[in-house]
Amino acid sequence: MTPVVSVIIPASNEGQYIGACLRAVLASNPLPRHTLEVLVIANGCTDDTVAVATRFSAMAEPRGWGLRVLDLPTGSKIAALNMGDQHATGAIRVYLDADVIVSPDLLAELTVALASDKPRYATGTPRIPAPASWVTAQYARFWQRLPFFNSNAAGFGLFAVNAAGHARWGHFPDIISDDTFVRLHFTPQERTQVSAPYDWPMAEGLARLVRVRRRQDQGNAQLAALFPKLMQNDDKTQADGWALLKADPVGFGVYATVSGLVRLTRRRDSAGWARGR
């Protein structure tokens, strides 16, 4: 039997984005010695996410690939990820945000990178599409200078593991930052960033940037509190603030403004999965 690569896409009210995401996945170049199954886990949707995703079965079938759309009544990314794992049949698992656009070679390169009996984690090379708003353009330009963005295999929006890697956690706990949780189960030597890119859009506008940044900070603090042993695999380096300021004073100012507003509004937290668009 041909081995399977499973792509798991949690989607909550992603009708505007899921079509482009699936079109890119299903246009991927052939996978070496593997076939593909795609699982869209709609959760808490009140829009047309399910209907849009279901229409892409016609694009998968001629290639001998599978597409299933599962519908959860409650909006929960963690519940969607766990349901995806329950239904996935592939030893290689690719976890993909519904607004991410993969390049044609990415899934094939991930398949090769994860072809090991040892635990392995892999992701692609992230690209930030040109933002529509001025404030997000400044923030995004500066953010791409930070050590985290330029670190090996950061994995935001898209990460993949093989069977031995997935066995390290098995079931997603109730956490905010699923991507960081998974990445920190692997040492830097066990993580690979392939050259094929993927597009990861950034939240538009100051209020949404603050909302997303607050959730990111909450997620990191939560992981440090609940899983302190994982933090030994965190290889982030400290940013040189003075050098960053000199290189991009406007971007630095916008980034500092977002950071300051997060601190000022940190008590106004909201529960649930928020992408911040």
Question: Is there a domain that residue 269 lies in?
Answer: no
What is the model's pLDDT at position 270?
A: 47
Burial class (CB within 10 angstroms; exposed 0-12, middle 13-18, buried 19+) of 105: middle
Number of compact structural domains in the chain: 1
Look up the CATH number of the domain holding residue 81.
3.90.550.10
Question: Is there a domain that residue 276 lies in?
Answer: no
What is the model's pLDDT at position 266?
A: 66
Question: Is there a domain that residue 270 lies in?
Answer: no
For helices 206-226 and 134-143, angle between their N-to-C axes, nearest 10 degrees = 40
Question: Is there a domain that residue 199 lies in?
Answer: yes
Contacts of 220 (CB under 8 A, 6+ apart): 177, 180
What is the model's pLDDT at position 271?
A: 46
Residues in the chain where the model's pLDDT stays below 70: 266-277
pTM: 0.93
Alpha helices for the chain (secondary structure H):
18-26, 49-54, 57-60, 77-87, 106-113, 134-143, 163-166, 178-183, 206-226, 241-247, 249-264
pLDDT tens by residue, 80-101: 999 999 999 999 999 999 999 9
Question: Is there a domain that residue 273 lies in?
Answer: no
Question: Is there a domain that residue 272 lies in?
Answer: no
pLDDT tens by residue, 160-211: 999 999 999 999 999 999 999 999 999 999 999 999 999 999 999 999 999 9
Question: Is there a domain that residue 96 lies in?
Answer: yes
Question: What's the domain range around 203?
Answer: 4-264
What is the model's pLDDT at position 240?
A: 84
